[in-house]
Structure 1
């Protein structure tokens, strides 16, 4: 079973999305902010990371994505945001983007779509 770190500061969205990801067959570990995500990444073992870009606490999803790639190169990472991609800083090459609001099915499809992963041989 693929292990996934889901980082989202909105508790309701985190709970609903986690339930759907569990149903889709992922082992989901939740983090409520970037600091908690970095602590969990330090423990290792994630195949996927999904993180909101803008979160309270001073650590952004961009920093989470970089840490995920540092700990495990090739870790498939999706950053989500309510901002249009053109309004965001440049995302790391190996990171996929999904705009909010999104349907959970879109997220699950993106996780499974090898073409969604730039620089990743699949």
Structure 2
């Protein structure tokens, strides 16, 4: 987790999606916006990266292959890092998704980069209030 003494460090985002095209485009865009980005294609891989990297934001698709959905990944990530900012993405409305973990933000797919940028900025602002 980032702390105040590391405030000059770039915000590190772990992006999780099984769609290679989405990963490539959004990763590049987030980097262009000044974020440090690491990617995972499956929930299990994301859990490993949460242990290996100092992640500030988990940005994950809800529908993931295998037996670890984005919602379950968010729950496990929250257990590992209680202060982790979590952003979930889905083509379904958030009200139709299984119980979203507390303090998780949501963005509907397809999202525009401006929507994603605004949501991340809101999350960062909320953590500093």
TM-score (norm 1): 0.90
- 1:115 Cα deviation from its structure 2 partner: 8.4
Q: Give 1:67's aligned residue.
A: 76
Query: Which consecutive residues of structure 1, in runs of 5 or more, have no partner in the other structure?
Result: none
Query: Which consecutive residues of structure 2, in runs of 5 or more, have no partner in the other structure?
Result: 1-9
Q: Distance in 2 between matches of 1:24 and 1:109?
A: 12
User: CA contact under 8 A between 1:110 and 1:116: conserved in structure 2?
Assistant: no
Q: Distance in 2 between matches of 1:43 and 1:19?
A: 22
Q: Distance in 1 between matches of 2:26 and 2:41?
A: 13
What do the CA deviations read for 1:13-70 (whole angstroms, capped 9, x no partner)?
A: 1100001100111100000111111111122410001000111111111122122222
Q: Distance in 2 between matches of 1:15 and 1:36?
A: 17
TM-score (norm 2): 0.85
Task: Name which of 4, 29, 34 aligns with 2:13.
Answer: 4
Structure of larger gyration radius: 2
Q: Secondary structure at the match of 2:83?
A: coil
What do the CA deviations read for 1:74-101 (whole angstroms, capped 9, x no partner)?
A: 1110000011112101211110011101
Change in Cα spacing, 1:39 to 1:104, as seen in structure 2 (3 Å) is same
User: CA contact under 8 A between 2:85 and 2:123: conserved in structure 1?
Assistant: no
Moved over 6 A (4+): none
Q: Distance in 2 between matches of 1:64 and 1:116?
A: 24
Q: Secondary structure at the match of 1:113?
A: helix
Count of aligned pairs:
120
Q: Distance in 2 between matches of 1:116 and 1:98?
A: 17
